[in-house]
Chains A and B, each alone.
Chain A
Amino acid sequence: MEFKLVYQVAFSLLIARWKQTLIAAIGVTISITMFVTVLSFMSGLNDMLDGLITNRTAHVRIYKEIQISERQPADFINPKGHNFVSSIKPKNELLGINNSKTILEAIRKDDRVLGVAPKINAQVFYNVGAVDLTGAIFGIDPVEENRLFKFSDYVTSGNYIDLKNIPNSIILGKGVASKMMANVGDVIQVTTSKGDQVALRVVGIFQSGIQDLDNVQSYCSIGTTQKLLGQPSNYITDIQVKLKNILWAPEVAKEYQRIYELNAVDIQTANSQFETGSSVRTLISYAVGITLLLVAGFGIYNILNMMIYEKMDSIAILKAVGFSGKDVNQIFISIALSIGIFGGLMGLLMGFGLSSLIDQIPFNTESLPTIKTYPINYNPRFYLIGGTFAIVTTYFAGFFPSRKASGIDPVIIIRGK
């Protein structure tokens, strides 16, 4: 009963000044709309940029590095002394990972692992007439590579699965293909580092978005690459691991390095600049959004203040007929909250609408073959934060004017006439 009356009075006051009320609500609506849109858009862009790296980079990469032995024969003879040995050279050994099949099996059984993809790194020359272009071929398992690293997203023409189905096939980087004037279906010549010349059929063109990569990089299947290099079928140089949670990567990398006595690098170490970039961008978008909301809050504060000056007489009379300061306070708080809730809800709806609209705008860029429109992240968290903030700001915007209204002395106003 009590609350109903307070709400009825608040509602009547609102309706009596509906233009001002509407303007205040529109202020909230616009700021919430912009808040939601800016955050969705910024976060969409962020995800896209992060995706450039995280989608196609292994969380943990295991490889063997050719390095000199840490303990030289002299250290065994004289373990306590200081041994000065200069000009040490690494031992001639294979780049391939020893016992790779067993390691792959073991990692695949790890609960934290989403998937494992083997990879071979091979140096080659692409033969274009009399000229040899330096290049690199990655030997991959096309199916696993696609499952874990969205390989097919970057294959702009041809079909990635042909790599597996057609023997001696290759997917060329876009830069390489244009230099060689090769199209899908053509046969090209490559020279391996050992001097053998091999003919490979082009089954696709690959565009990663990173031009330096596209100018040298090509993909073959594991088998083809092993044949190119003249290595046995257990020869691989890298093991790419994708984890269920990217945050586990540093820990897992350390563990694998210890267990398998190989080098393991986690994505955070390999691409630390990306994490910094995305966290700074998130910070900026939140700062912009919250500024918008604060401005709307001041708008509501102003309008309520004005309303209270206008309604001095009404407040005085309400008090004279028995409304307490607390009731008057509640009336004005309800006014502020109604504006906040109404404006906030409209803002969330319009924010969703505006983001969907941006989502439709074409966005074609050379470097991002899979992106066709501006990216939007429809994370419900932004809507939750926006809605909460709308109500909290309007509450505080109403709090001080309401306190002023509740403190009004009816005698001064009635006597003042």
Chain B
Amino acid sequence: MNKVVLEAKEITKYFHDPVTVKILDKVSFQLKQSEFVSVIGRSGCGKSTLLYILSTMDTDYEGDLIIDGVSMRDKKEGELAIVRNEKIGFVFQFHYLLNEFSVLRNVMLPGLKLGQFSEKEIEHRAYEKLKILGIEKEALKDPNQLSGGQKQRVAIARALINDPLLIMGDEPTGNLDKKNSEIVFNIFQELAEEYKQTLLIVTHDNEFAARTTRIIEMEDGHIK
């Protein structure tokens, strides 16, 4: 029996602007280790909102969120930042790499922040992650010299640097062409199968979702 990595307990969220709308209504579910889960649903059903709450970046909700057995409810901003740094890896629709840094530096950044290893070790680990993703040759380039697909792979490498408990993706293939989407999906699948990585991916792409191990379908703020 795999342990529970993340648990949502009756999460409810309102939007207040311009009028109060209930966007999430008592969403509860569990995520177990090494599960590859996709969240699908129509635009506006609240799936991205849910992801941001689960990622601890959005703290304005009712209910409770438990990550790795610890409640996130009453944690302070600084403590949540540490949780994100240590336990969650992010992949967004846009790559969001920092253009001021080289590819390698971008991957290293969360590791440097965590400060668990020396800078040398972090660099070594960053190379390893880039190798898994097949882009170690691009390590010393600037992000804006890379193609869209490569950038997204760098972003995945960055998500992996601290060996997170969980990787979250917000439409990670939404901005990529068919071929690159395929590459990114295969990477996720490889991570799930070979490295037993837990993944929670929000997506529009039903084809993508169909190939994951579990699908959470959302409609009007609930899980269907």
Chain A positions within 8 Å of B, measured between CB atoms, are: 1-2, 5, 8-9, 12-13, 15-16, 313-314, 316-327, 409-411, 414-415, 417
Given contacts A317-B96, A321-B85, 16 further A-B contacts (CB under 8 A): A2-B115, A9-B109, A15-B100, A16-B99, A314-B100, A321-B90, A321-B113, A322-B82, A323-B81, A323-B85, A324-B77, A326-B78, A327-B113, A410-B57, A414-B57, A417-B93
Contacts A/B (CB < 8 Å), 13 sampled: A12-B100, A16-B99, A16-B100, A313-B96, A314-B98, A318-B109, A320-B84, A320-B90, A322-B85, A322-B114, A323-B85, A326-B78, A410-B57
B212 beta carbon closer than 8 Å to chain A = no
In the complex, which of the residues A12, A321, A410 has the most CB atoms of chain B within 10 Å of its own CB atom? A321
Chain B positions within 8 Å of A, measured between CB atoms, are: 48, 52, 55, 57-58, 77-78, 81-82, 84-86, 90, 92-94, 96-101, 109-110, 112-115, 158, 170
With A1-B115, A417-B94 known to touch, is A324 a contact of B81 (CB < 8 Å)? yes
With A12-B100, A414-B92 known to touch, is A323 a contact of B113 (CB < 8 Å)? yes
Beta-carbon contact of B52 and A321 below 8 Å: no
Beta-carbon contact of A415 and B81 below 8 Å: no
Q: What is the CA–CA distance of A37 and B114 in the complex, to the nearest angstrom?
A: 48
* List of A residues within 8 angstroms of B96 by Cβ: 313, 316-317, 320, 414
Q: What is the CA–CA distance of A12 and B99 in the complex, to the nearest angstrom?
A: 10
Beta-carbon contact of B52 and A12 below 8 Å: no
Q: What is the CA–CA distance of A33 and B113 in the complex, to the nearest angstrom?
A: 39
Beta-carbon contact of B109 and A321 below 8 Å: yes
Contact of A322 among B92, B101, B113 (CB under 8 A): B113
* List of A residues within 8 angstroms of B98 by Cβ: 12, 314, 317-318
Q: Chain A nearest CB: distance from B43 CB in Å? A: 13
Q: What is the CA–CA distance of A16 and B142 in the complex, to the nearest angstrom?
A: 12
With A314-B100, A317-B98 known to touch, is A5 a contact of B84 (CB < 8 Å)? no
Contact of A321 among B94, B99, B110 (CB under 8 A): B110
Q: What is the CA–CA distance of A318 and B100 in the complex, to the nearest angstrom?
A: 12
With A15-B100, A314-B98 known to touch, is A415 a contact of B115 (CB < 8 Å)? no
Beta-carbon contact of A414 and B85 below 8 Å: no
Residue of B nearest to A16 (CB): B100
Q: What is the CA–CA distance of A322 and B78 in the complex, to the nearest angstrom?
A: 9
In the complex, which of the residues A13, A15, A324, A415 has the most CB atoms of chain B within 10 Å of its own CB atom? A324
> Nearest 8 A-B pairs (CB), nearest first?
A322-B85, A324-B81, A12-B100, A16-B100, A324-B78, A321-B110, A317-B96, A322-B84
Contact of A414 among B86, B114, B115, B170 (CB under 8 A): B170
Q: What is the CA–CA distance of A321 and B156 in the complex, to the nearest angstrom?
A: 12
Contact of B113 among A5, A314, A414, A417 (CB under 8 A): A5
Q: Chain A nearest CB: distance from B107 CB in Å? A: 10
* List of A residues within 8 angstroms of B109 by Cβ: 9, 318, 321
Q: What is the CA–CA distance of A318 and B25 in the complex, to the nearest angstrom?
A: 30
Q: What is the CA–CA distance of A411 and B54 in the complex, to the nearest angstrom?
A: 12
Residue of B nearest to A6 (CB): B113
Beta-carbon contact of B94 and A322 below 8 Å: no
Beta-carbon contact of A320 and B93 below 8 Å: no
* List of B residues within 8 angstroms of A411 by Cβ: 52, 57-58
